[in-house]
Amino acid sequence: MSGEGEEGMMMMMMAKNKVKFLCSHSGKILPRPPDGQLKYVGGETRVMAVPRTIDFSGLMEKLMSGVCEGTWFLNTN
């Protein structure tokens, strides 16, 4: 394999070992006018990637460390 191929393979393996969370704040959840489905309006959204092996207390520590500032909710859907 070429160096570039090995690097890409390594990045893919690392990505499979992580899970990504979307952290949204300072916005509102509102119904869409046409169909009433909920949507998130305004605010900011950040992506946080953590190892799949992280425990709940480690995840909460990461969230509280400033990755997601302000009032937030953990949605597990």
Per-residue pLDDT at 30: 92
pTM of the complete model beyond 0.95: no
Angle at 52 between CA 42 and CA 55, to 5 degrees: 90
In whole angstroms, give the CA distance from residue 61 to residue 32.
Answer: 34
- Please check whether residue 67 is in contact with residue 46, taking contact to mean a CB–CB distance below 8 angstroms: yes
Q: What is the pLDDT along the chain (77 residues), one digit of tens a residue?
A: 445 677 776 666 666 788 888 887 788 889 998 899 998 888 888 888 889 899 999 988 887 776 555 555 566 65
Per-residue pLDDT at 2: 47
